[in-house]
Amino acid sequence: MRLRKKPWIAEAIREYDDIVIFSSDEVKPGHWWECFGSERPIHVELGTGKGDFITGMAKRWPANHFIGIEYEEEILYFAAKKVREQSLTNIRLLPFDSNHIDELFAPNEIARLYINFCDPWPKKRHAKRRLTDSRFLEKYKTVLTKGGAIFFKTDNERLFEYSLNQFAANGFVLANVSLDLHHYGQQVDNVMTEYEKKFSAQGMKIYRCEAYLPV
Ligand SMILES: C[S@@+](CC[C@H](N)C(=O)[O-])C[C@H]1O[C@@H](n2cnc3c(N)ncnc32)[C@H](O)[C@@H]1O
């Protein structure tokens, strides 16, 4: 997702310091519930973008806590704005790199991870940068609870194929695999992301799966 540089956002996003956690000193591995004031399952989205998905999910599942990680502050600003406008109290947003997920969370702390329309990094030599590559899955496995899951959506068939193989090779059990979610998909409760709305409006197929860690 590319945005033209908007210098005003660097200042404007500071108004959302009750929603966005700017400093790594405020990151609380093992104690995230303190931010929310109650202990509930933690769901994390990697590459949150402008926040359509995370706000939709938080509204639909008020008994869960949601944390969105998005390293572009210029994009995250729009997600923070939606959280405030919709008065959602069960979301926090982190302007950090997903690569550091194992420093942001304690082992067994996350019930579910969402990866939606991540960059496909189509060149073979860049495969290790894909958010579903084994290098990342190893980290996700430490922070996910037993029985925890990754819910994954993409428009990219080759990335999907690659990811299914990576999930399986890393001990995840696949469920609800769909090769065309909006037409022949499993009956899943689907909240659309910004990219999903755009791609499906163009008639593109959306691929989706759930990958579970054994209990
Ligand atoms: C293609 S967009 C998809 C946005 C949204 N998930 C959607 O489906 O509409 C990918 C987003 O992930 C963010 N991103 C990519 N790599 C990231 C990383 N390592 N850590 C955090 N955010 C990342 C990008 O800045 C971008 O906003």
Q: Probe ligand 1: pick from 94, 96, 118, 131, max atoms within 8 Å of CB?
A: 118
Close Cβ partners of 151 (under 8 Å, ≥ 6 residues apart): 112, 113, 114, 115, 208, 209, 210
Q: Which of 48, 101, 121, 192 to mutate to test the pocket of ligand 1 (most atoms within 8 A of CB)?
A: 48
Per-residue pLDDT band for 4 (boundaries 50, 70, 90) equals low
Ligand 1 within 6 A of CB of 55? no
Per-residue model confidence as pLDDT tens digits over 8-56: 998 899 999 999 999 888 888 999 988 899 999 999 999 999 999 999 9
Residue nearest (by alpha carbon) to ligand 1 atom 25 = 72
pTM for the structure as a whole: 0.95
State the distance from the centre of ligand 1 to the C-alpha of 196, rounded, in angstroms. Answer: 13
Hey, what domains does the chain have and what are their CATH numbers? 39-212 (3.40.50.150)
Q: What is the overall mean pLDDT for the chain?
A: 94
User: How far, rounded to the nearest angstrom, does the alpha carbon of residue 17 sit from its chain's CA centroid?
Assistant: 20
Residue 21 near residue 92, CB atoms below 8 Å: yes
Q: Is the CB–ligand 1 distance for residue 1 below 6 Å?
A: yes
Ligand 1 geometric centre to CA of 168 (Å): 24
Q: Is 73 in the pocket of ligand 1 (CB under 6 A)?
A: no
Assess whether the C-beta atom of 199 lies below 6 angstroms from ligand 1.
no
CA 150 to chain centre: 9
pLDDT at 43: 98
Residue 66: DSSP 8-state = E
What pLDDT band is residue 1 in, cutting at 50, 70 and 90?
low
Helix (H, G, I), strand (E, B) or coil at 127: helix
Buried b (16+ CB within 10 A) or exposed e, 12-36: ebeebeebbbeeeeebbeeebeeeb
CA–CA dist 179, 102 (Å, integer): 30
Centre of ligand 1 to C-alpha 63, Å, is: 25
Question: What's the whole-number mean pLDDT along residues 72-86?
Answer: 97
User: Contacts from 7-12 at CB under 8 Å and sequence distance 24+?
Assistant: 9/73, 9/74, 9/77, 10/73, 12/77
Query: Which pLDDT band holds residue 187 (cuts at 50, 70, 90)?
Result: low
- Residues designated catalytic: 119
Task: Give mean pLDDT, residues 173-183.
Answer: 94
pLDDT attached to residue 66: 98
pLDDT tens-digit series, residues 190-207: 999 999 999 999 999 999
**CA distances for 198 relative to 113, 146, 202, angstroms:** 22, 34, 7
Contact 3 CB / ligand 1 (< 6 Å): no
Query: Does residue 6 or residue 1 have the better pLDDT?
Result: 6
Share of the chain above pLDDT 70, in %: 97
Give pLDDT, residue 185. 61
